[in-house]
């Protein structure tokens, strides 16, 4: 099977797995991550099949979305084998999808990603910031019955992996300080960093307006 056909099949597999999700991981998130990964892959000259496969599959076995991520990982591996990827290619893709999450990067020894992995991680993080990032945070917060904002709950800006994963009392606005505003300085590639700086500026403007309106100042 040629590479173009393999990518088409991977897209189809991802679509079937993601299309029913309503937590902000819908397939449109995947399509934007793939588009950005395509752009960054050209800049950074990473392997196209590895980069796009990891982008398409990065949320399929997310433990927030499925009960048994390990089972899903086996299913993904079997699928990749069935479309004739080599064991090395499969291992590289699975390593990326297993290790790119924000919570993993908060652990004591954050996993080291290949350049293709860094490109996919940047693409996923870029989709969490800017206008789309704001929309996704509100969408996620609504789906999870979060309060919009509560000035009596201070954002917990320094957290380890376990603390981040067990947050209670989360508010949508606190999520900006606990995750979204940290992502720009965590970008791996220079192109992603530049895009992130622009998107971050917009988030600061949004938060300033939000505060002023909350206090009835404007």
What is the per-residue binding string for ligand ADP in 75-114, x denoting contact by CB under 6 A?
--------------------------xx------------
d(CA 203, CA 123): 17
Choice from 18, 141, 199, 203 touching ligand ADP (CB under 6 A): 141
Alpha carbon distance 119, 40 (integer Å): 6
**Residue 11's binding partner out of ligand ADP, Ni ion, none, with CB under 5 to 8 Å set by partner kind:** none
Tell me which of 60, 116, 170, 203 binds ligand ADP, using CB under 6 A: 170
Alpha-carbon torsion (110, 25, 123, 2), positive or negative = positive
CB of 127 to ligand ADP, least distance (A): 7
Distance, CA of 53 to CA of 41 (rounded, Å): 12
Neighbouring C-beta atoms of residue 132, cutoff 10 Å: 16
**Min separation Cβ 202 and Ni ion, Å:** 20
CB nearer ligand ADP, residue 179 or residue 199 = 179
Burial class (CB in 10 A: 0-12, 13-18, 19+), 22: exposed
* Residue 17 near ligand ADP by CB under 6 A: no
By the criterion CB under 5 A, which residues form the site for Ni ion? Answer: 59, 124
């Amino acid at each position: 099977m040629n590479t173009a056909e393999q990518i088409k099949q991977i897209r189809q597999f991802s679509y079937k797995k993601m299309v029913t999700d309503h937590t902000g991981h819908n397939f449109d998130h995947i399509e934007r991550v793939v588009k950005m990964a395509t752009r960054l892959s050209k800049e950074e000259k990473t392997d196209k099949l590895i980069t796009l496969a990891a982008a398409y599959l990065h949320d399929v076995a997310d433990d927030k979305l499925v009960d048994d991520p390990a089972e899903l990982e086996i299913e993904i591996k079997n699928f990749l084998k069935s479309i004739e990827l080599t064991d090395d290619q499969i291992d590289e893709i699975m390593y990326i999808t297993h290790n790119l999450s924000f919570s993993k990067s908060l652990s004591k020894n954050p996993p080291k990603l290949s350049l293709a992995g860094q490109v996919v991680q940047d693409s996923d993080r870029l989709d969490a910031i800017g206008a789309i990032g704001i929309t996704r945070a509100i969408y996620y917060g609504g789906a999870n019955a979060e309060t919009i904002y509560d000035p009596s709950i201070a954002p917990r800006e320094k957290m380890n992996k376990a603390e981040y994963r067990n947050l209670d009392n989360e508010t949508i606005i606190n999520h900006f300080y606990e995750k979204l505003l940290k992502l720009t300085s965590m970008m791996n590639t220079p192109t992603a960093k530049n895009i992130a700086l622009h998107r971050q500026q917009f988030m600061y403007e949004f938060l300033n307006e939000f505060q002023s309106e909350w206090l009835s100042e404007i």
